[in-house]
Amino acid sequence: MVPYINPNILLRSIQGMNSEVKFDDFRLKTGIASFSVFNQLLNFLARNQIGILLDKNGKQTLLFSEMDRIRASILALQRGCDIQECSKVLSWKDFEYFTSELLTMFEYITKVNIVLSKPRAQLDVIGIKNDFAITIDCKHWKYNNKTTLTLYVEKQIRRTILWLQREKKITKALPIIITLDNPCFKFINGVPIVPILTLKSFLNEFDKTDESLLFINKS
């Protein structure tokens, strides 16, 4: 039987998942007063291969990788945590990998932190399905300024065009911006501004033939 763990406790534990943290410090960062509940959390993490418990000079230490935080976030999400709350406890870098993991649930092959040269450009996340791609710029904070968002949209369009020119198998791409919170704008110049909270529904519902969306075709 898979042991039950309260998803909110699991979510709180992510905030304490530093690369190396003392056993007692980790418990304090999670805010779990009960030793029995804390032990349940540790057992759950161990069963899911999250973190490594070491004994250093008689003192217990926990080691966590960057992907441990992502795996814990996905587990919290699967157990009912709000996707936005999951995202808030992550760093901007974790947020990119978290977005990538969400795309894999929709059968996209994903790439993270793609760097192009001559001219230099970087894309946060790319999801590929057959000959189609979604290129994503992740913004891990609140954006409600249209001028600022328009600037990011224009940059994402240029990056997508540059990347598409270098890809042999991809014929069509959709640039999008993903934000942590709900922006006031759903589209700017045909580019969707998608809060992480609605990413799943967007991936389910967007139409590759929708003329209101800025699909970039390989020239």
Average of per-residue pLDDT across 154-165: 95
* Pick from 5-14, 109-118, 132-141, 173-182: least confident: 5-14
Predicted TM-score (pTM) of the model is: 0.85
* Domains in the chain, CATH or no CATH each: 7-81 (1.10.10.10), 89-217 (3.40.1350.10)
pLDDT at 190: 94
What pLDDT, in 10s, does the model give residues 43-92?
Answer: 889 889 999 888 777 778 889 988 899 999 998 888 888 888 888 888 88
Rounded to 5 degrees, what angle do the CA atoms 80, 83, 85 make?
A: 95
Q: Are strands 172-179 and 191-195 parallel, antiparallel or unpaired?
A: parallel
pLDDT at 1: 46
Residue (of 51, 54, 73, 75) closest to 64 by Cα position: 51
Cα 86 to Cα 33: distance, rounded to the nearest angstrom: 22
Residue (of 160, 161, 137, 150) closest to 189 by Cα position: 150
